[in-house]
Structures are given as C-alpha cells and as structure tokens.
Amino acid sequence: MSQLVADYILERLRAWDIHRIYGYPGDGINAILGALDRAGSDPELIQVRHEEMAAFMACGHAKFTGEIGVCLATSGPGAIHLLNGLYDARLDHAPLLAIVGQQARAALGGDYQQEVDLTTLFKDVAREYVQMATVPEQMRHLIDRAIRIALSERTVTCLIVPNDLASMEAAEPPHEHGTVHSSIGYTRPRIVPDNESLRRAADVLNKGERVAILAGQGALGAEAELLQVADTLGAGIAKALLGRAVVPDDVPYVTGSIGLLGTRPSYELMTGCDTLMMVGSSFPYSEFLPEEGKARGVQIDIDARLIGIRYPMEVQLVGDARETLRGLQPHLERKTDRDWQESIAGQVEDWWELMDARAHDDADPINPQRVFWELSSRLPDGCILTSDSGSAANWFARDLRLRSGMMASLSGNLATMGPGVPYAIAAKFAHPERPVIALVGDGAMQMNGLAELITIAKYWRQWSDPRLAVLVLNNQDLNQVTWEQRAMEGDPRYEVSQSIPDFPYARYAEMIGLRGVRVDEPDRVGEAWDEVLASDRPAVLEAVVDPEIPPLPPHITFEQAKHFAQAVIHGDANRRSMVRNSLRQMLDTITPGR
Ligand SMILES: Cc1ncc(C[n+]2csc(CCOP(=O)(O)OP(=O)(O)O)c2C)c(N)n1
Ligand SMILES: [Mg+2]
C-alpha cells in the first residue's frame, strides 16, 4: 500500500516507541496533521494554546519519564514560537525532538511567505542535529538520527519538513551509492569509571573528615546508593534545584536545596566541609561551593564536558551516578567519628523549626511561606511537583519536605517563566494516575498559565486521577525581580515594571469548568489545600499573598543588606510593611562573619 512521507514519519516515531506529540497546527504541517488523523491516536496529538507550551510540555515529558519528548509546529511563526521551550530543554539536558514544517521546496530562497531560514534559526538550540529533509528517501535516517542523537546526547534535535515533501509518496532508500540505511533503537550504555579511578576517589573520600555531597538531577534514580554512601562517609547531602527529588527531605542529614534559593544548612555544609563530592550536578554559583583550596574534590558525571568546571576536582569520575556510587561503595571506609553528620542533622532540625516559624510570621494577608508549609504535610504520596520561576521557586526549594517516590522539576538552567503549568500538563499525560501540583506566580499565569488552563479543561477527563492543582500566588507583583532590584541594585520597587493587574484566577477556573478556590486568610490555607487536593477535577488554588516577604538567599551578604537599606532610604513605595515584615527574617539569616 502506498504511503505518504507524513504517514511514514509517524510510523517511524511509533517504531521508536513515541506515542504522544505536543503541537499546534499550521499549513506548513498540514500533511502531517492529516497523517495524525489517519493514525487514530497513536501517536496522539495534544493540542496546546501556543507552540512554546508544546515545547515546555515535550520537555516536561522528558523530565518526568526519561524518554524523548516530541513537539510539532508549523513553519515560520510556529517554529519561532517553539524556541524558548527548546532552550529550556537544551539547558536542562532533556532529550527533545522538534518537528517543524517549512514552505514548499520550490519556493525556498524566494522571499516566500512565512519563509524563515529554519536551519539557521535552530542551529544554536539544536546544534547537535538540525536537518531539513529534501527527498523522501532521506526521511528514515533523518528521524533515526534525530532521535538517537537527542537521546544519547540528552539534547534538542530538529527535523524540518517542507510541506510539499510531506505529502509526497514515501520511499525507502534504494540499495545504491549515495544512500543511507539506518535503523531504530537506542540502548543507554552502562558507563562506569575504571577501578583505579574509583580507588583514588575513595581514597580522597576516606581521608576527609567532613564530607559534603552535592547531588543534582544526574543522581535521580540513585537515592538508595546516595544515602548509603552518605551514611558510610558520615556526610551531609545538599541538592541542586533540578535534583530536588533525588533524596527525600525527611532524612536527617539531607540539608535541602543549595544556592540563592537554598537553605542555611546547605550553605554551612559547603563552607564547613573539607571534602566535596558532586554527583550529577552542574550547579553554577561558586559562592555557594567551598572556597578553592579549602576542600578536596571528587565529581561524578555522565558527561565529561561538565566535570571540573564549577570547582577544581582532584578525581573526576565519568559515569552513571548510580553505577558509579555502587562501584565506589566497597572502597569506602565507614567513618567512626559521626560528629560532622550529627552537627549537620542538628542544623537541619533547627532549619525546619525556622521554616515553621517563618511560615507563621504575620503577613498581609497571607505569608506565601505559610501556603507551602501547609502543603508540605499534605503532599500526596507519589505526587509530581512543578514550579515556575519567580518567588514560588524559593518556597518550592526551601519549604517543602519531599518524601521518597515524589518527582519535582522546574526550569533549572534557563530559569524561564512559563513552564509551571505546561510541565504539570505533561506530567498528567505521562502519569495520569499521580496527583500533580503546579506552583506558579500570578505573572507567569498571566504570561501563559491562564491560557494553558484551557488545555487542562480540554483534556482532564482523559486522566484516570483527575487531580491537578495549580497554585497561583496572587501578589500583584513580579515579586522575585522586585526583590532582586532591591537586594542587588539597591533600587526601590519600580512600580511601572513590577506591578501587575489583579485577576480572578479562581473564578476564571470555575468559568472554564475547573474547580477554583480563593483564599485570603492564613488560617484557611490548610482547608483550601484539602479542598483542591481532594477535588474531582483539576483545580486552581488562588492564594492572596504578601509581596513584602523577602525570598532572600539563605546567607545574606553585607553588600545585599546595604543595598536593601538603600532601597528603603530611597523611598521604596512599600517600605513600611516591607521593613516590618522582612527585617527580622533578614537578620536571622545573616551569616556570622559575612
Ligand atoms: C521569560 C522570562 N521573562 C522574565 C524573567 C525574569 N523574571 C524572573 S522571575 C520574574 C517574576 C515572576 O513574577 P510572578 O510570576 O508573578 O511570580 P512572583 O515572583 O511574583 O511570585 C521575572 C519577571 C524570566 N525569568 N523569564
Ligand atoms: Mg507575582
């Protein structure tokens, strides 16, 4: 039976075990859409509101499954819209294939309508592989290579398909000179360092008296191994944001997140250690790592390009985190002196008490930390959390006690606004039986989250467990940046850029058939969570929160305190409540000696 190139593309995707595509139509991909229609629902097309969201969803799919995510957009404007989501995937090493349409081959180079040089446009974000198909015989290896390269390099690849080509008859490459004969399939190799390197690493770790472990997303799936190594070494474990769920927060020596959004115990762990082991992380901020020369370094990463670039490492182990930790374990000696780990555990305990106290600090009307504190004890088993960029990311990083079996992600390296809701949608499609919770600011909701609620309203009935809660922090402010302006520039809040309009998030949710709960009293936050987490359909929890609660770093530097004071002196419009609400919090975070 004859088959069009478009049908062939889908058949090949199926052969690669790809069954879902996030996309948006346009005449550059009409042939592919026709083929999707003929294909029934394998692969199924999930229709989004905006192509950037399709890219975020494909990225979310990759992050929550370990599989490749696929998105589809039309030529010109559709392709351009994908870009930010593709960069999000690229920077966080999520494998993703973007399929985009293009004008007919005969028109290319003719300043034709919607003609954009897509190969050049995608050359940076998909630099490992971006190709435009020109003849049907090429299609097989273009797909095979785009997928295999995305998976093996954990990156973004792009396939550009001119619309006339997609509706031509499909053809396999003939057995002759100048053709390529590819095949499907990718098996992740077992990558482990040699024994000599493991022994050298163990020697460094055994000699250390105060070992700190920093784990990132590369350590996902290595929970047991990390905890065993940390136990043997009497170490503490701090987590990079993308590794938020690598080890649970109810382990006494897990210090939580690191960095600007991190915890004080993580900061102390890094500044107090004499040996640092980084596992599957490329956490960028050196001021949160030990000072050069103060600690010996061991690093485990699957990608040699990412080793030894954040802190000088004495032993570099290129390998899979779990396998490498397993290989390391027999060489490690159990530390008899447990003081270091016990002191870490003590700090962690104090920290959680501080979080509790902070969550209950007065605010007008609700302290955002209270919203997360109330959620923390209510997190359903096996839930998946997504966070947007903004103040929510701080509380996501600090205030939630994740348990084993949960998943969590955000835009780690690009730190873009917008992925909170689309990641959550992708999580529901990938794991319909698990409750999903998105933590999003009102700015991000207005940027795109509100529109993607429509996607949720369209699809939620397909999910076996309908629970998808979207928390909106209604503070009528682009708060994270407001605080950055204060703390980093010493500038007062710039009303023109920072203030955003109020919007009835909960009522809007109700209007489109979802559940909507609005809460503006601190003591009602708990029941509001109970309600949305028990809802028979996706729900928006709109929490009216105080923008004057500082999402400050765990250690505030003298410089930042000075800037903050300056902002106040310069007449920050909100200074009275700001001073009342935040000075105390700031003081209890100042690190002695800084
Ligand atoms: C696409 C994009 N634009 C701008 C920024 C800069 N930025 C980071 S957080 C933020 C404010 C987010 O505001 P909102 O979503 O309301 O969250 P809040 O901090 O107020 O809780 C901005 C503007 C960004 N990270 N990404
Ligand atoms: Mg806001």
Please tell me the predicted confidence (pLDDT) of residue 381. Answer: 98
pLDDT single digits (tens) 487-504: 888 889 999 999 999 999
Ligand 1 atom closest to residue 440's alpha carbon, by position in its atom list = 15
pLDDT single digits (tens) 76-105: 999 999 999 999 999 999 999 999 999 999
Closest ligand, as measured to the CA of 393: 1
Q: Which two tokens stand for residue 383?
A: 């839930």
Q: Which of 322, 272, 287, 284 is nearest to 302 (CA)?
A: 322
CA distance 552 to 191: 39
pTM to 2 decimal places = 0.96
Please tell me the predicted confidence (pLDDT) of residue 581. Answer: 55
How many C-beta atoms surround the C-beta of residue 47 within 10 A?
Answer: 12
Please tell me the predicted confidence (pLDDT) of residue 487. Answer: 82
pLDDT single digits (tens) 214-242: 999 999 999 999 999 999 999 999 999 99
Please tell me the predicted confidence (pLDDT) of residue 560. Answer: 67
Please tell me the predicted confidence (pLDDT) of residue 561. Answer: 67
Please tell me the predicted confidence (pLDDT) of residue 18. Answer: 98
Ligand 1 atom closest to residue 500's alpha carbon, by position in its atom list = 16
425 Cα: distance to centroid of ligand 1 (angstroms): 20
Closest ligand, as measured to the CA of 83: 1
Please tell me the predicted confidence (pLDDT) of residue 593. Answer: 31
480 Cα: distance to centroid of ligand 1 (angstroms): 6
Q: Which of 37, 5, 1, 28 is nearest to 143 (CA)?
A: 5
Closest ligand, as measured to the CA of 447: 1
446 Cα: distance to centroid of ligand 2 (angstroms): 10
395 Cα: distance to centroid of ligand 2 (angstroms): 13
CB burial of residue 354 (10 Å; 0-12, 13-18, 19+): middle
Q: Which of 440, 482, 443, 481 is nearest to 578 (CA)?
A: 482
Please tell me the predicted confidence (pLDDT) of residue 352. Answer: 96
Can you give the C-alpha Rg of the chain in angstroms? 25
79 Cα: distance to centroid of ligand 2 (angstroms): 29
Neighbours of ion ligand 2 (CB under 5 A): 441-443, 475, 477, 479
For residues 418 and 56, is the Cβ–Cβ distance under 8 A? yes
Q: Which residues in the chain come in under a pLDDT of 50?
A: 590-594
